[in-house]
Amino acid sequence: MRAPVSDSSDREANVPLLAHDGLVWRRLARLGAAHGPGWFVEYSPPLIGLCAALLLPSMRRTVRDNLRRVRGAVGRAREVRDVAETFTSYAGCLAEGLTSGSKNERPPEVSVSGAEHAARAVAGARGVILVTAHTAGWELAGPVFRERTGVDLVMVMEAERDRAARELQDRARRARGLGVVHVGKDPLASLTLVRQLRAGAALGLQLDRVPRGMRGVAVRLFGQPGQIPEGPIRLSQVSGAPILPVFCARLGHRRYLVELFEGTVVPRRPAPAEVKATAQRLADAMTDFVRRHPTQWFAFGHGRVGAPAG
Protein backbone atom coordinates (compact mmCIF):
# COMPACT_ATOMS: atom_id res chain seq x y z
CA MET A 1 0.00 0.00 0.00
CA ARG A 2 1.30 3.44 -0.88
CA ALA A 3 1.43 6.18 1.71
CA PRO A 4 -0.72 9.25 1.04
CA VAL A 5 1.00 12.03 -0.84
CA SER A 6 1.44 15.24 1.12
CA ASP A 7 1.39 18.68 -0.44
CA SER A 8 3.69 20.07 2.23
CA SER A 9 7.27 21.04 1.54
CA ASP A 10 10.27 18.90 2.38
CA ARG A 11 10.57 20.64 5.72
CA GLU A 12 7.09 20.36 7.21
CA ALA A 13 8.11 22.07 10.42
CA ASN A 14 10.76 24.60 11.32
CA VAL A 15 13.48 21.95 11.60
CA PRO A 16 17.04 23.26 12.01
CA LEU A 17 19.33 22.22 9.18
CA LEU A 18 21.58 20.15 11.46
CA ALA A 19 18.86 18.82 13.78
CA HIS A 20 19.56 15.30 15.01
CA ASP A 21 16.41 14.04 13.26
CA GLY A 22 16.92 16.09 10.11
CA LEU A 23 17.78 15.18 6.54
CA VAL A 24 21.52 15.95 6.69
CA TRP A 25 22.36 13.32 9.28
CA ARG A 26 19.96 10.77 7.78
CA ARG A 27 21.62 11.18 4.37
CA LEU A 28 25.07 10.76 5.86
CA ALA A 29 23.92 7.61 7.66
CA ARG A 30 22.46 6.22 4.42
CA LEU A 31 25.65 7.09 2.53
CA GLY A 32 27.84 5.20 4.98
CA ALA A 33 25.51 2.23 5.40
CA ALA A 34 24.68 1.72 1.73
CA HIS A 35 27.87 2.78 -0.04
CA GLY A 36 30.65 2.43 2.50
CA PRO A 37 32.74 -0.71 2.98
CA GLY A 38 30.98 -3.69 4.56
CA TRP A 39 33.02 -3.47 7.76
CA PHE A 40 31.71 0.08 8.31
CA VAL A 41 28.15 -1.19 8.90
CA GLU A 42 29.35 -3.58 11.61
CA TYR A 43 32.05 -1.66 13.41
CA SER A 44 31.23 2.05 13.12
CA PRO A 45 27.78 2.15 14.88
CA PRO A 46 29.17 1.69 18.42
CA LEU A 47 31.48 4.68 17.99
CA ILE A 48 28.75 6.76 16.31
CA GLY A 49 26.28 5.85 19.05
CA LEU A 50 28.73 6.86 21.79
CA CYS A 51 29.40 10.17 20.07
CA ALA A 52 25.64 10.82 19.86
CA ALA A 53 25.26 10.07 23.56
CA LEU A 54 28.00 12.58 24.39
CA LEU A 55 26.73 15.29 22.03
CA LEU A 56 23.03 15.05 22.95
CA PRO A 57 22.79 15.52 26.73
CA SER A 58 19.01 16.04 26.82
CA MET A 59 18.41 12.77 24.96
CA ARG A 60 20.95 11.06 27.21
CA ARG A 61 19.06 12.22 30.29
CA THR A 62 15.76 11.06 28.78
CA VAL A 63 17.19 7.58 28.18
CA ARG A 64 18.56 7.51 31.73
CA ASP A 65 15.23 8.55 33.22
CA ASN A 66 13.31 5.95 31.23
CA LEU A 67 15.76 3.21 32.21
CA ARG A 68 15.19 4.17 35.85
CA ARG A 69 11.45 4.03 35.27
CA VAL A 70 11.67 0.58 33.70
CA ARG A 71 13.71 -1.14 36.41
CA GLY A 72 14.41 1.30 39.22
CA ALA A 73 17.74 2.66 40.38
CA VAL A 74 20.94 0.72 39.69
CA GLY A 75 24.59 1.45 40.32
CA ARG A 76 26.18 4.43 38.59
CA ALA A 77 28.54 2.29 36.52
CA ARG A 78 25.75 0.09 35.19
CA GLU A 79 23.55 3.09 34.45
CA VAL A 80 26.27 4.76 32.37
CA ARG A 81 26.96 1.49 30.54
CA ASP A 82 23.29 0.86 29.77
CA VAL A 83 22.66 4.41 28.51
CA ALA A 84 25.64 3.98 26.20
CA GLU A 85 24.39 0.55 25.07
CA THR A 86 20.99 2.05 24.21
CA PHE A 87 22.60 4.61 21.90
CA THR A 88 24.99 2.11 20.28
CA SER A 89 22.21 -0.42 19.72
CA TYR A 90 20.10 2.25 18.03
CA ALA A 91 23.01 3.21 15.80
CA GLY A 92 23.45 -0.43 14.82
CA CYS A 93 19.76 -0.82 13.97
CA LEU A 94 19.77 2.38 11.92
CA ALA A 95 22.86 1.35 9.95
CA GLU A 96 21.54 -2.14 9.23
CA GLY A 97 18.14 -0.80 8.23
CA LEU A 98 19.61 1.77 5.85
CA THR A 99 21.52 -0.91 3.93
CA SER A 100 18.22 -1.99 2.30
CA GLY A 101 18.51 -2.17 -1.47
CA SER A 102 22.27 -1.61 -1.43
CA LYS A 103 25.40 -3.70 -1.88
CA ASN A 104 25.70 -3.99 1.90
CA GLU A 105 22.25 -5.47 2.48
CA ARG A 106 22.33 -8.86 4.19
CA PRO A 107 19.40 -10.91 5.53
CA PRO A 108 19.28 -10.68 9.32
CA GLU A 109 19.21 -13.73 11.55
CA VAL A 110 15.82 -13.57 13.28
CA SER A 111 14.58 -15.71 16.17
CA VAL A 112 10.80 -15.75 16.60
CA SER A 113 8.96 -16.47 19.83
CA GLY A 114 5.17 -16.87 19.98
CA ALA A 115 4.60 -17.46 16.25
CA GLU A 116 1.45 -19.43 17.06
CA HIS A 117 -0.25 -16.21 18.17
CA ALA A 118 0.19 -14.76 14.67
CA ALA A 119 -1.46 -17.80 13.09
CA ARG A 120 -4.46 -17.54 15.41
CA ALA A 121 -4.77 -13.80 14.87
CA VAL A 122 -5.21 -14.10 11.09
CA ALA A 123 -7.53 -17.10 11.25
CA GLY A 124 -10.62 -14.92 11.76
CA ALA A 125 -10.07 -13.07 8.47
CA ARG A 126 -11.00 -9.73 10.08
CA GLY A 127 -7.62 -8.14 9.80
CA VAL A 128 -5.03 -7.81 12.55
CA ILE A 129 -3.84 -4.85 14.62
CA LEU A 130 -0.23 -5.29 15.67
CA VAL A 131 0.91 -3.03 18.50
CA THR A 132 4.61 -2.56 19.05
CA ALA A 133 7.05 -0.09 20.56
CA HIS A 134 10.14 1.81 19.49
CA THR A 135 12.42 -1.08 20.34
CA ALA A 136 15.46 -2.31 18.43
CA GLY A 137 14.53 -3.78 15.07
CA TRP A 138 10.77 -3.23 15.33
CA GLU A 139 10.75 -2.72 11.56
CA LEU A 140 11.42 -6.46 11.22
CA ALA A 141 7.90 -7.16 12.44
CA GLY A 142 6.49 -6.65 8.94
CA PRO A 143 8.70 -9.11 7.05
CA VAL A 144 8.45 -11.67 9.85
CA PHE A 145 4.67 -11.38 10.03
CA ARG A 146 4.37 -11.77 6.27
CA GLU A 147 6.66 -14.81 6.32
CA ARG A 148 4.60 -16.48 9.05
CA THR A 149 1.11 -15.58 7.83
CA GLY A 150 1.33 -14.47 4.20
CA VAL A 151 -0.20 -11.10 5.16
CA ASP A 152 1.61 -7.80 4.52
CA LEU A 153 1.95 -5.39 7.42
CA VAL A 154 1.46 -1.64 7.05
CA MET A 155 2.76 0.55 9.88
CA VAL A 156 0.53 3.50 10.80
CA MET A 157 2.82 6.25 12.05
CA GLU A 158 2.84 9.88 13.03
CA ALA A 159 4.91 11.87 10.53
CA GLU A 160 8.41 13.00 11.47
CA ARG A 161 9.12 16.73 11.52
CA ASP A 162 11.29 16.66 8.39
CA ARG A 163 9.40 15.22 5.43
CA ALA A 164 12.52 14.55 3.34
CA ALA A 165 14.22 12.70 6.20
CA ARG A 166 11.04 10.72 6.75
CA GLU A 167 10.84 9.73 3.09
CA LEU A 168 14.44 8.55 3.09
CA GLN A 169 13.71 6.29 6.06
CA ASP A 170 10.41 5.11 4.57
CA ARG A 171 12.11 4.01 1.35
CA ALA A 172 14.41 1.77 3.39
CA ARG A 173 11.41 0.37 5.27
CA ARG A 174 9.52 -0.41 2.08
CA ALA A 175 12.61 -2.07 0.61
CA ARG A 176 12.50 -4.46 3.57
CA GLY A 177 8.87 -5.31 2.92
CA LEU A 178 7.25 -3.02 5.50
CA GLY A 179 4.49 -0.72 4.27
CA VAL A 180 4.17 2.71 5.88
CA VAL A 181 1.28 5.17 6.02
CA HIS A 182 1.36 8.48 7.90
CA VAL A 183 -1.75 9.83 9.56
CA GLY A 184 -2.75 12.64 11.87
CA LYS A 185 -2.98 12.50 15.62
CA ASP A 186 -5.96 10.12 15.78
CA PRO A 187 -5.82 6.88 13.75
CA LEU A 188 -9.62 6.70 13.85
CA ALA A 189 -9.75 9.88 11.76
CA SER A 190 -8.92 7.75 8.73
CA LEU A 191 -11.82 5.51 7.79
CA THR A 192 -9.44 3.91 5.30
CA LEU A 193 -7.80 2.03 8.18
CA VAL A 194 -11.09 0.49 9.24
CA ARG A 195 -11.88 -0.54 5.67
CA GLN A 196 -8.47 -2.14 5.31
CA LEU A 197 -8.89 -4.14 8.49
CA ARG A 198 -12.29 -5.38 7.37
CA ALA A 199 -10.64 -6.47 4.12
CA GLY A 200 -8.16 -8.59 6.07
CA ALA A 201 -5.17 -6.24 6.26
CA ALA A 202 -2.59 -6.15 9.05
CA LEU A 203 -1.95 -2.69 10.52
CA GLY A 204 0.81 -1.85 12.97
CA LEU A 205 0.62 0.94 15.54
CA GLN A 206 3.06 2.19 18.15
CA LEU A 207 2.03 1.58 21.74
CA ASP A 208 4.65 3.54 23.64
CA ARG A 209 3.81 7.12 22.67
CA VAL A 210 0.67 9.16 23.17
CA PRO A 211 1.23 12.29 21.04
CA ARG A 212 -0.28 15.55 22.15
CA GLY A 213 -3.92 15.67 21.03
CA MET A 214 -4.35 11.88 20.97
CA ARG A 215 -6.52 10.14 23.54
CA GLY A 216 -4.86 7.78 25.98
CA VAL A 217 -6.04 5.09 28.39
CA ALA A 218 -4.73 5.11 31.95
CA VAL A 219 -2.76 1.96 32.84
CA ARG A 220 -0.06 0.69 35.16
CA LEU A 221 3.13 0.82 33.09
CA PHE A 222 6.41 -0.43 34.59
CA GLY A 223 4.62 -0.54 37.93
CA GLN A 224 3.70 3.16 37.81
CA PRO A 225 0.73 5.22 36.58
CA GLY A 226 0.96 5.69 32.81
CA GLN A 227 -1.06 5.65 29.62
CA ILE A 228 -1.12 4.05 26.17
CA PRO A 229 -2.92 5.24 23.02
CA GLU A 230 -6.63 4.54 22.82
CA GLY A 231 -6.53 4.22 19.01
CA PRO A 232 -5.68 0.49 18.69
CA ILE A 233 -8.46 -0.42 21.11
CA ARG A 234 -11.07 1.63 19.27
CA LEU A 235 -9.94 0.22 15.91
CA SER A 236 -10.45 -3.30 17.27
CA GLN A 237 -13.85 -2.32 18.62
CA VAL A 238 -15.02 -0.94 15.27
CA SER A 239 -13.48 -3.56 12.99
CA GLY A 240 -13.54 -6.75 15.07
CA ALA A 241 -9.82 -7.26 14.38
CA PRO A 242 -7.70 -8.77 17.18
CA ILE A 243 -4.89 -6.76 18.77
CA LEU A 244 -1.58 -8.63 18.75
CA PRO A 245 1.39 -7.25 20.75
CA VAL A 246 4.77 -7.80 19.04
CA PHE A 247 8.15 -6.48 20.14
CA CYS A 248 11.71 -6.81 18.87
CA ALA A 249 15.23 -6.69 20.27
CA ARG A 250 18.70 -6.60 18.70
CA LEU A 251 20.91 -9.43 19.97
CA GLY A 252 24.02 -8.51 17.99
CA HIS A 253 25.15 -7.55 14.50
CA ARG A 254 22.26 -8.49 12.18
CA ARG A 255 20.79 -10.74 14.89
CA TYR A 256 17.30 -10.02 16.22
CA LEU A 257 14.54 -11.44 18.36
CA VAL A 258 10.85 -10.98 17.50
CA GLU A 259 8.41 -11.88 20.27
CA LEU A 260 4.64 -12.09 19.82
CA PHE A 261 2.12 -12.14 22.66
CA GLU A 262 -1.39 -13.55 22.75
CA GLY A 263 -3.97 -11.46 20.91
CA THR A 264 -7.18 -9.99 22.24
CA VAL A 265 -10.41 -8.74 20.63
CA VAL A 266 -12.40 -5.76 21.91
CA PRO A 267 -16.20 -6.24 21.95
CA ARG A 268 -18.33 -4.06 19.70
CA ARG A 269 -19.83 -2.25 22.70
CA PRO A 270 -17.27 -2.66 25.46
CA ALA A 271 -17.92 -1.55 28.99
CA PRO A 272 -15.37 0.94 30.36
CA ALA A 273 -13.93 -1.87 32.49
CA GLU A 274 -13.34 -3.98 29.36
CA VAL A 275 -11.51 -1.14 27.63
CA LYS A 276 -9.33 -0.64 30.70
CA ALA A 277 -8.65 -4.38 31.01
CA THR A 278 -7.59 -4.60 27.36
CA ALA A 279 -5.33 -1.57 27.72
CA GLN A 280 -3.74 -3.09 30.81
CA ARG A 281 -3.02 -6.38 29.01
CA LEU A 282 -1.24 -4.45 26.26
CA ALA A 283 0.70 -2.39 28.82
CA ASP A 284 1.66 -5.57 30.68
CA ALA A 285 3.04 -7.11 27.48
CA MET A 286 5.13 -4.03 26.81
CA THR A 287 6.31 -3.89 30.42
CA ASP A 288 7.31 -7.55 30.36
CA PHE A 289 9.33 -7.24 27.16
CA VAL A 290 11.03 -3.92 27.89
CA ARG A 291 12.01 -5.00 31.38
CA ARG A 292 13.79 -8.00 29.86
CA HIS A 293 15.42 -5.81 27.18
CA PRO A 294 15.69 -2.32 28.73
CA THR A 295 18.55 -1.07 26.55
CA GLN A 296 16.58 -1.98 23.42
CA TRP A 297 13.87 0.64 24.05
CA PHE A 298 14.59 3.76 22.03
CA ALA A 299 12.70 6.39 24.02
CA PHE A 300 14.67 9.38 22.75
CA GLY A 301 13.67 12.98 23.21
CA HIS A 302 10.03 12.42 24.17
CA GLY A 303 10.14 12.90 27.91
CA ARG A 304 8.81 10.11 30.07
CA VAL A 305 7.22 7.93 27.45
CA GLY A 306 3.83 6.63 28.46
CA ALA A 307 3.64 8.91 31.48
CA PRO A 308 0.26 10.45 32.27
CA ALA A 309 -0.51 13.70 30.52
CA GLY A 310 -0.30 16.74 32.64
Q: Tell me the β-bridge partners of 132.
A: 206
The pLDDT score that the predictor gives to residue 14 is 58
The pLDDT score that the predictor gives to residue 1 is 34
**239-270 b/e with 16+ CB inside 10 Å = b?**
bbbbbbbbbbbbbeebebbbbbbebbbbeeeb
How confident is residue 87, by pLDDT bands cut at 50, 70 and 90? very high
**151-165 b/e with 16+ CB inside 10 Å = b?**
bebbbbbebbebbbb
- Residues 207-234 have a mean pLDDT of 89
Residue 71 pLDDT exceeds 50: yes
Which of 108-117, 150-159, 289-298 shows the lowest mean pLDDT across its residues? 150-159
| DSSP conformation class of 135 | B
Average pLDDT, the chain: 81
How confident is residue 35, by pLDDT bands cut at 50, 70 and 90? confident
- Residues 24-28 have a mean pLDDT of 67
Residue 119 pLDDT exceeds 90: no
pTM of the entire predicted model: 0.82
